[in-house]
Amino acid sequence: MNELPNLPGYLFEPSLGGLISTVLTFLLPLLAAILMRQSWGTGLKGTVLLLLAAVKVFLEAWIAAINSGVNFNFTVVLYGVVLNFLVAVAMHFGLWRGTSVQQALMNSGNTDKTINGQLV
């Protein structure tokens, strides 16, 4: 049976990697805010957040697999993506939503443009 790489942050292992992973998960909604436009619907905004969570977990699992010498396990990555996405959504609604930090990032990032009266 294949050994699974220990991905940091899921049950919070007290290590530098676990701490960095947890902090990044809490900050994912802010990173997503930089990429989003305010006019986008909630489904598209959620997709951006899901993609960021997927990239984060994929990189963590890849690095963990290389460092531990075990095979990359896609099942663990899927579990991590779901878990990171749920934590990021909870952070968005519970902590970041409507704060001046989130609004500033959304205004500084990918802004809406109007050309000839149409939103582009």
Q: Mind listing the pLDDT tens digit for each residue in 9-58?
A: 555 556 777 778 888 888 888 888 888 777 778 888 888 888 998 998 88
Using one digit for the tens of pLDDT, what is the confidence trace for 66-112?
Answer: 888 888 888 888 888 888 888 888 887 877 777 888 778 777 766 66
Query: What pLDDT sits at residue 111?
Result: 65
What is the per-residue pLDDT for 2?
A: 47
Secondary structure in 3-state letters for the chain: CCCCCCCCCCCCCCCHHHHHHHHHHHHHHHHHHHHCCCCCCHHHHHHHHHHHHHHHHHHHHHHHHHHHCCCCCHHHHHHHHHHHHHHHHHHHHHHHCCCHHHHHHHHHCCCCCEECCEEC
